[in-house]
């Protein structure tokens, strides 16, 4: 299934290249999207996240030219009504970011950031981009685009980025050129993910640890609620500010440095602050989520599925009740998965991503995955009146040259 999907995408890339440039490409690279298994809203607190790469990729097909710029087509630029789009990209490190970013910003930003970090290109290139990571679906099509561009520049320039260099320069591109103040998770897992492994990423030290998830009888079911609630825009900065305020009240910079015991011992002090009740709940989520993430990692390695399921359950409840970033549609999906339960092959289920819609991640017994997905979609339709979309994946390989 996964191989077939990849082969189809690869064939698509080659065909699209031939259509646009009239020849076969000489370089092909791929970088995946991702899903976060646990560790939500922990990154900006310096905590832990636990993503894995998914069997959905962005592929770039390219050929060097003797031009001094890059001409790149994408099959999908994320705009409805625009079937495909082209851009011209300068091979310079000092290109000025656009005020109003669009898809070209991710590409130009990554090219410029690669050049800043020491890659040099002798000539330009022609390229096409195809992807089966849903754009804007919370599975990080943006990181898969940046990381695939960086991988292409490595291959064309012969300059290999070491360790965390590549994901970090992609983060720079997203911050500076796409103007998205994202964390480091998406780019790390897309660049450095390994097949049959999840990644425990410490957002304070920026050190990734590969965690084997090699049991093929367990898979990951990603269900998209296909709702995204309009936010005022203040929800995210508000929560960030709350976490910072509690950390500072306890004499620290980040909640990562606060233990649960310490937080509970300081409860009265926090409750006495303005909006104390809310501050305490927000901090309880952030501090508790780190504990759950580390527990889940150990349980996953041990194949202790009951403990894995428990951590996912507690994470969801905390995001719903303490952090207040869930919504009724997402809760419905999680409740349906819970009603199926471990006996029905649903090991654990939770919201994944920033919240207020988006996707649910459910760990499932591989042989029950389709049945569970269909039941979730059917009951979701009956309860919420909307169509959920889903797919099943094992932990996939990160960026690579094909």
Active site residues: 186
Site string for ligand ADP, 34-63 (x = CB under 6 A): ------------------------x-----
- Pick between residue 136 and residue 212 the one whose CB is nearest to ligand ADP: 136
Kindly state the tokens that stand for 228.
């995204």
- Answer yes or no whether residue 103 interacts with ligand ADP by CB under 6 A: yes
Residues that bind ligand ADP (rule: CB under 6 A) add up to a total of: 19
Range 347-385 burial, b when 16+ CB lie within 10 A, else e? bbbbbbbbbbbbbbbbbbbbebbeebbebbbebbeeebe
Residue with tokens 């090219």: 111
Report d(CA 220, CA 199) in Å as an integer. Answer: 14
Kindly state the tokens that stand for 230.
């309009």
Strand ranges for 99-154 from DSSP E: 125-131
- Pick between residue 58 and residue 318 the one whose CB is nearest to ligand ADP: 58
Q: In terms of C-beta density within 10 A (0-12 exposed, 13-18 middle, 19 or more buried), how is residue 240 classed?
A: middle
| Contact partner, 138, from Mg ion, ligand ADP, none, Cβ < 5-8 Å per class | ligand ADP
- Answer yes or no whether residue 280 interacts with ligand ADP by CB under 6 A: no
| Contact partner, 58, from Mg ion, ligand ADP, none, Cβ < 5-8 Å per class | ligand ADP
| Contact partner, 108, from ligand ADP, Mg ion, none, Cβ < 5-8 Å per class | none
**Residue 143 CB, nearest distance to Mg ion (Å)?**
6
Cβ-Cβ contacts under 8 Å for 219 (sequence gap 6 or more): 363, 364, 365, 366, 369, 392, 393, 394
- Pick between residue 36 and residue 242 the one whose CB is nearest to ligand ADP: 36
Position with the least CB separation from ligand ADP: 78
- Pick between residue 112 and residue 142 the one whose CB is nearest to Mg ion: 142
- Answer yes or no whether residue 74 interacts with ligand ADP by CB under 6 A: yes
CB 89 within 8 A of CB 65: no
Q: 58 by DSSP, 3-state: which?
A: strand
Binding site for ligand ADP (CB under 6 A): 58, 74, 76-78, 102-103, 106, 129, 131, 135-142, 145
């Amino acid at each position: 299934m996964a191989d077939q999907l990849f082969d189809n995408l690869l064939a698509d890339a080659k065909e699209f290249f031939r259509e646009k440039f009239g020849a076969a490409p000489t370089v092909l690279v791929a970088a995946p999207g991702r899903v976060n298994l646990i560790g939500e809203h922990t990154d900006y607190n310096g905590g832990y996240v636990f993503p894995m790469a998914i069997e959905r990729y962005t592929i770039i097909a390219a050929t060097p030219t003797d031009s001094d710029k890059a001409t790149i087509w994408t099959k999908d630029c994320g705009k409805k009504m625009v079937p495909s789009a082209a851009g011209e990209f300068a091979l310079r490190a000092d290109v000025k970011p656009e005020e109003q970013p669009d898809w070209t910003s991710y590409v130009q930003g990554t090219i410029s950031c690669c050049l800043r970090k020491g890659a040099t290109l002798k000539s330009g290139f022609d390229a096409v981009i195809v992807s089966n990571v849903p754009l804007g679906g919370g599975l990080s099509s943006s990181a898969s685009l940046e990381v695939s561009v960086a991988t292409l520049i490595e291959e064309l320039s012969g300059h290999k980025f070491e360790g965390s260099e590549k994901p970090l320069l992609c983060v720079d591109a997203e911050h500076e050129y796409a103007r998205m103040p994202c964390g480091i998770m998406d780019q790390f897992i897309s660049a450095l993910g390994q097949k049959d492994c999840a990644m425990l990423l410490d957002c304070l030290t920026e050190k990734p640890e590969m965690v084997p998830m090699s049991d093929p009888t367990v898979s990951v079911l990603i269900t998209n609620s296909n709702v995204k609630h309009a936010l005022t825009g203040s929800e995210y900065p508000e929560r960030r500010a709350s976490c910072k305020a509690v950390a500072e009240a306890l004499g620290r910079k980040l909640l990562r440095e606060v233990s649960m015991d310490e937080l509970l011992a300081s409860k009265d002090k926090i409750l006495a602050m303005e909006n104390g009740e809310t501050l305490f709940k927000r901090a309880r989520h952030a501090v508790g989520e780190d504990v759950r993430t580390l527990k889940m990692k150990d349980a996953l390695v041990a194949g202790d599925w009951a403990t894995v399921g428990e951590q996912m359950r507690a994470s969801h409840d905390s995001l719903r009740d303490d952090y207040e970033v869930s919504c009724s549609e997402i809760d419905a999906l999680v409740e349906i998965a819970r009603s199926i339960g471990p006996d029905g092959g649903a090991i654990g289920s939770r919201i994944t991503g920033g919240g207020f819609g988006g996707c649910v991640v459910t760990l499932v017994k591989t042989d029950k995955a389709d049945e569970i997905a269909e039941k979730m979609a059917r009951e979701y339709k009956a309860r919420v009146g909307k169509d959920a979309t889903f797919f099943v994946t094992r932990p996939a390989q990160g960026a690579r040259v094909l």
